[in-house]
Amino acid sequence: MYYPEPIAKLIESYSKLPGIGQKTAIRLAFYTIGMDDEDVNLFAKNLLSAKRDLKFCSVCGNLTDQDPCSICTDENRDRSTIFVVEDSKDVLAIEKIREYNGLYHVLQGTISPMNGISPDDINVKSLITRLIDSQVEEVIIATNATSEGEATAIYLSRLIKPSGIKVTRLARGLAVGSDIEYADEVTLLKAVENRKEI
């Protein structure tokens, strides 16, 4: 089917988003064209700003618009624990349960030899640097319950334990293969409370 080029380009952009098929892309493109100029301008501005103004925190690796991020610089947070997660979405999931008041470290991935992802390819080195001469007493490893998440947890545990810092892993309330960001709050809270030393 023929569309004028500006619409075709917009459809193409939408269809690159995850979970958006061709049909939905067409619907979104036509919806966008029907929006007020003001709303379209704001939409475009927000897209550009999200890409331009966000960076990774140089301390914890979380997505932030200020470096270090607001969690790393928060004086009221408990500096004796670090919650290690795979990505920034997991930080939001844990923050939502309002039970944890320590610090985070975002790996931005997992170790996956099958896909050629080694510890050097994710945010591990900065975690180890953070632990040297720190007040950290416990590192809670909350990588997802997938084989890569497990392998990463074991790798980190072996790396950190010789320093005498306690290493724990979230309890198995979380289904195998499940992502933390999709866990409901009660399950997540239980998994944190029942964490086990590894």
By the 8 A CB rule, do 143 and 153 touch? yes
Confirm or reject binding of residue 72 to Zn ion (CB under 5 A): yes
Confirm or reject binding of residue 183 to Zn ion (CB under 5 A): no
Confirm or reject binding of residue 93 to Zn ion (CB under 5 A): no
Minimum Å gap between C-beta 68 and Zn ion is 5
Cα 11–chain centre separation = 28
**How many Cα neighbours within 13 Å face the side chain of 176?**
2
Out of 60, 127, 136, 167, which residue is the one contacting Zn ion (CB under 5 A)? 60
- The piece of 49-57, 85-93, 135-143, 182-190 that touches Zn ion (CB under 5 A) is 49-57
Which CB sits closer to Zn ion, 80 or 187?
Answer: 80
Out of 10, 25, 26, 69, which residue is the one contacting Zn ion (CB under 5 A)? 69
Minimum Å gap between C-beta 92 and Zn ion is 14
Confirm or reject binding of residue 59 to Zn ion (CB under 5 A): yes
By the 8 A CB rule, do 167 and 155 touch? no
- The amino acid occupying position 29 is A
- The piece of 8-16, 33-41, 52-60, 121-129 that touches Zn ion (CB under 5 A) is 52-60
- The piece of 51-59, 125-133, 153-161, 188-196 that touches Zn ion (CB under 5 A) is 51-59
Cα separation, 83 vs 101, whole angstroms:
10
Minimum Å gap between C-beta 194 and Zn ion is 27
Minimum Å gap between C-beta 76 and Zn ion is 15
Which CB sits closer to Zn ion, 8 or 131?
Answer: 131
- List contacts with Zn ion (CB under 5 A): 57, 59-60, 62, 68-69, 72
